[in-house]
Amino acid sequence: MNPQAKLVFTMSLLLGTSITISSNHWIMAWTGLEINTLAILPFISKSHHPRAIEAATKYFLVQATASALVLFSSMVNAWQTGQWDITQLTHPMACTVFTAAIAMKLGLVPFHFWFPEVLQGSSLTIGLILSTIMKFPPITLMYLTSGSLNPILLTTMAVLSTILGGWMGLNQTQIRKILAFSSISHLGWMTIILIYSPKLTLLNFYLYTIMTAATFLALNTMKAMKLSTLMTSWAKSPA
């Protein structure tokens, strides 16, 4: 990739994340999410491999749908209450739609199917960005609207994510898919904590980010893609 293009996309990624986490208005938050989505797509499809192109297409479709739902829920809320403030999400229908949209963005069950496939089609470095930085804006929006989200729907999705993430990860040989299901399981725990203590969810997310970064970077150093490669990596690179 051209260094100038790489710089532009990286800066856009940081800009999109910054806009979303610092905004107080729904339109600004949505703009940040859209910038984020468009900035990561060239990185996913960089290798021009069919799997990478497929991953980028799946990621774009899911994220665009979720962003549209975020915008729709905020418009419904603004129509009913006259408020564009993120913390003032009060209309029941808007709350339910937003809960579904944020679950789709994060990859919570039952909207989790895209995440393992996208991670499998990406490199380990891009997988790290998708598992950490790209989840920060939706987690922030969840944190800001934690008092308004539908608790029953949120608990159901959280419990299912925790169970399915742990269960499906057992059946994999591809390391990136194992990490994807691990991420889904972690997100389930974060979501269920959110109802009782939003600040604890953020702390959990920070710890998860540190652990995930360490894992991905170690695997990237060893160039390990499968469990079979990982088993023989001690002889190649003991450190």
Crossing angle (nearest 10°) for helices 136-144 and 26-44: 160
Please state the rounded mean pLDDT for residues 130-147.
94
Say whether pLDDT at 149 is over 80: yes
Is 29 a member of any domain?
yes
pLDDT digits (tens, 9 = 90+) for 102-128: 999 999 989 999 999 999 999 999 999
Q: Tokens in use for 23?
A: 């905004």
Please state the rounded mean pLDDT for residues 146-158.
91
Query: How confident is the prediction for the chain on average, in pLDDT?
Result: 92
Crossing angle (nearest 10°) for helices 3-22 and 136-144: 10
Q: Tokens in use for 5?
A: 């293009």
How many domains is the chain built from? 1
pLDDT score at 223: 85
pTM of the model: 0.92
Is 232 a member of any domain?
no
Q: Among 20-24, 227-231, 235-239, whose mean pLDDT is lowest?
A: 235-239
Please state the rounded mean pLDDT for residues 19-47.
94
Give CA–CA dist 235/238, Å, rounded.
Answer: 6
Contact 94, 73 (CB under 8 A): yes
Which letter does DSSP use for residue 45 in this model? Answer: T
Give CA–CA dist 228/106, Å, rounded.
Answer: 29
HSE on the CB side for 51, CA within 13 Å? 8
Give CA–CA dist 135/51, Å, rounded.
Answer: 22
Is 100 a member of any domain?
yes
Neighbours of 13 (CB within 10 A): 20
Give CA–CA dist 84/27, Å, rounded.
Answer: 8
Domain around 135: 3-225
Is 28 a member of any domain?
yes
Q: Tokens in use for 166?
A: 């742990």
Is 234 a member of any domain?
no
| pLDDT-based confidence at residue 236 (cuts at 50, 70, 90) | low
Say whether pLDDT at 206 is over 70: yes
pLDDT score at 238: 64
Which letter does DSSP use for residue 174 in this model? Answer: B
pLDDT score at 2: 87
Is 238 a member of any domain?
no
Is 164 a member of any domain?
yes
Q: CA distances (Å), 25 to each of 92, 93, 111, in order?
A: 19, 19, 26
Is 122 a member of any domain?
yes
